[in-house]
Amino acid sequence: MRDIMGMMGKVKEMQAKMEQMQAEIASLTAEGKSGGGLVTVVVTGKGEMQSLKIDPSLFKEDDVEILEDLIVAAHKDAKEKADAVAAEKTKALTAGLPIPPGFKMPF
């Protein structure tokens, strides 16, 4: 019976840590760049675009498709960086737990 109570305490502790980590991930930002810095995108830890900066030299009518591709590439770069930080935070929190490889937390 004592083991169950101890385990329940650890579950509550882990739940509190997970909630704190989710809040940290939601508040973090990552910056992605493409085109040698001509396009910069900032995303939140959840992958939502927060800002977009475009170098004025790209505003030519003939370069619209290039600009669109650079925006997508910068967003992808920023999202990958945010995902990497979230994965590291999750890995640190769940160290020692029997979680299957490749398991993604639901956030």
Read off the amino acid at residue 83.
D
On whether the CB atoms of residues 75 and 37 are closer than 8 A, the answer is: no
Instruction: Evaluate if residue 36 carries a pLDDT over 60.
Output: yes
pLDDT, one tens digit per residue, over 51-84 is: 888 888 878 777 778 888 888 888 888 888 888 8
* Domains of the chain: residue spans and CATH: 1-95 (3.30.1310.10)
Q: What is the pTM of this model?
A: 0.57
Distance CA 70, CA 84 (A): 21
